């Protein structure tokens, strides 16, 4: 039975996260409905990263097992026929049996796009976060440097998090000012529930000079969610890249360069 990997993009604003729910209003539910119509039978899927309600994906990777034999392009065009405009398959590849969208992933990258301005970002509502107060980019970069490495991220973990432990390895955090946008890039081996949105809340407190940069170190050491900042908006958060071994031959899985270009080029 062939194993197929799919690259998926979606606007998360109208969906209650990735993972299937009894109400059926999730990206996984909608994708599996479309796959069932295309394949003529139920097709369960497994994803690389379970995004939260309102969070988008520029590059989500899923895998599925099916007896259906179709060309890779047919998986893209055929399944997209049954998907709403807010969800779209970007590519399909047949992969080895030992490929697993979640467990084979070596790293995941999220991009947060923030609009910095006095008035709300009307044309990008739901697509970017918003901060109406001035931000000090340099002090946020100083604070973000403390996040790189292997840490206990309990201070940035949702109370609903189901992960077995709070330790994660942050590979990099980058912050770039591009016109009226500030683009935050987080790459780690894995993330906790609400981890990035909680980190964003702390970084913005520091960027607004309400806290000093070393507050980030204190929060890591505290391992106490109640001492950190409030969870920030999901609007500007995108799952933007997944890293796998080259032997799986999935090509470039960085979706930020193309799907976020309208924001990054302004």
Which residues are annotated as catalytic?
A: 52
Alpha-carbon distance values, 44 to 21, 100, 133, 170, 177 (Å):
14, 13, 45, 30, 40
Looking at the DSSP assignment, which residues form a beta bridge with residue 107? Answer: 243
DSSP secondary structure code for residue 47 in this structure: E
Residue from 175, 179, 155 nearest 166 by CA: 155
Q: Are residues 262 and 123 in contact, defined by beta-carbon separation less than 8 angstroms?
A: no
Give the 3-state DSSP-derived string for 147-208, with helices as H, strands as E and coil as C. CCEEEECHHHCCCCCCCCCCEEEEEEEEEEEECCEEEEEEEECCCCCCHHHHHHHHHHHHHC
Q: 265 is written with which tokens?
A: 């080029």
């Amino acid at each position: 039975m062939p194993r197929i990997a799919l690259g998926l993009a979606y606007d998360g604003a109208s969906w209650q996260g990735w993972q299937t729910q009894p109400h059926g209003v999730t990206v996984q539910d909608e994708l599996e409905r479309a796959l069932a119509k295309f394949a003529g039978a139920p097709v369960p899927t497994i994803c690389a990263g379970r995004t939260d309600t309102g969070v988008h994906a520029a590059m989500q990777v899923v895998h599925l097992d099916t007896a259906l034999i179709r060309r890779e392009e047919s998986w893209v065009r055929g399944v997209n026929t049954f998907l709403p405009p807010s969800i779209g398959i970007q590519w399909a590849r047949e992969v080895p049996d030992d490929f697993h969208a979640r467990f084979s992933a070596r790293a995941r990258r999220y991009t947060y796009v923030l609009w910095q301005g006095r008035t709300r970002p009307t044309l990008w509502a739901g697509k970017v976060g918003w901060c109406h107060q001035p931000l000090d980019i340099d002090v946020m970069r100083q604070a973000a440097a403390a996040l790189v490495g292997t840490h206990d991220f309990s201070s940035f973990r949702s109370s609903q998090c189901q992960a077995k432990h709070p330790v994660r390895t942050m590979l990099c955090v980058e912050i770039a000012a591009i016109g009226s946008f500030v683009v935050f890039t987080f790459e780690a081996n894995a993330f906790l529930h609400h981890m990035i949105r909680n980190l964003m809340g702390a970084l913005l407190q520091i960027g607004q000079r309400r806290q000093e940069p070393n507050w980030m170190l204190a929060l890591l050491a505290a391992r106490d969610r109640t001492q950190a900042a409030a969870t920030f908006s999901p609007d500007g958060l995108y799952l933007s890249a997944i890293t796998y071994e080259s032997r799986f031959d999935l090509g470039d899985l960085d979706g930020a360069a193309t799907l976020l270009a309208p924001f990054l080029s302004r």
